[in-house]
Amino acid sequence: MKRRLGPLPMIFPMPALLVGTYGEDGAANAMTAAWAAICCQSPPCAGVAIRSSRLTYANLLARRAFTLNVPRADAAAAVDYLGIVSGRDDPGKLARAGFEAARGAVVEAPILPGCPVNVECRLLERLDLGTHSWFVGEIVEVHVDEDCLDAGGKVDLGALDPLVFATSRRAYHRLGEALGPAIDLGKSLRRRTDGGPS
């Protein structure tokens, strides 16, 4: 049986990311954001939803740059802290959460080397939707911890152990077991008439 819940923001699961920006004074800041996604393969783009009241909102517009940093599951408390406290109230929030900041290689936004994946974005588009604006950035560089890369240079999610977020109950999760490769698992369902190798 289904229950109708009405209009609610629900997609499961979402990542739990840290959005890095520089303030007007050049100080590195980061806030937690779970509503984010890849938006395009080529040029590679990523989007993130930010409230206009956030310091990150102003920072991002001023330098037209941001980073998305993928934290490990064991950083859940630190990540949560960066979502609770604004850089306006605690300019030392990054250090308090145990993160250092480094300059991005391409854009004017800080990366957090303590996160195993750091994605540098140059602002392309902004959609003002209501409480949140959706910012789309072109991904111009990606930094990944060597120990999270397999022999083929692909990101090994087992080694990465990324934090995951579930809206509704607002809970952090760990990523679970691998179930198999995409563009492969489903081949067993192909029609016989499709025939032959594909």
CB environment 65-81: b (16+ within 10 A), e (fewer): bbbbbbbbbebbebbbb
- Distance separating alpha carbons of residues 184 and 166, to the nearest angstrom: 27
**Choice between 25 and 146, CB closer to a second copy:** 146
In the list 31, 65, 68, 101, the residue contacting a second copy (rule: CB under 8 A) is: 68
Among 31, 55, 76, 109, binds a second copy (CB under 8 A): 76
* CA 150 remoteness from chain centre: 21
- Nearer residue to a second copy within complex by CB, 5 or 25: 5
d(CA 27, CA 62): 13
Closest to 97 measured CA to CA, from 128, 75, 119, 130: 75
Q: Which of 188, 192, 195, 196 binds a second copy (CB under 8 A)?
A: 188
Q: Is 53 in the site for a second copy (CB under 8 A)?
A: no
Q: Does 157 bind a second copy (CB under 8 A)?
A: yes
**Applying CB under 8 A, which of residues 5, 25, 196, 197 lies at the interface with a second copy?**
5
* Binds a second copy by CB under 8 A, chosen from 18, 28, 31, 82: 82
Helix (H) or strand (E) run with residue 59 in it: helix 55-63
Using CB under 8 A as the binding rule, the residues of this chain from 120 to 139 that contact a second copy are 124-125, 127, 129-132, 134, 136, 138-139
Binding of a second copy by 70 (CB under 8 A): yes
Q: Are 45 and 138 in contact (CB under 8 A)?
A: yes
Least distance from a second copy to the Cβ atom of residue 120, Å: 9
Of 27 and 166, nearer to a second copy (C-beta) is 166
In whole angstroms, the minimum distance from the beta carbon of 26 to a second copy comes to 22
Backbone CA torsion sign across 87, 92, 94, 97: negative
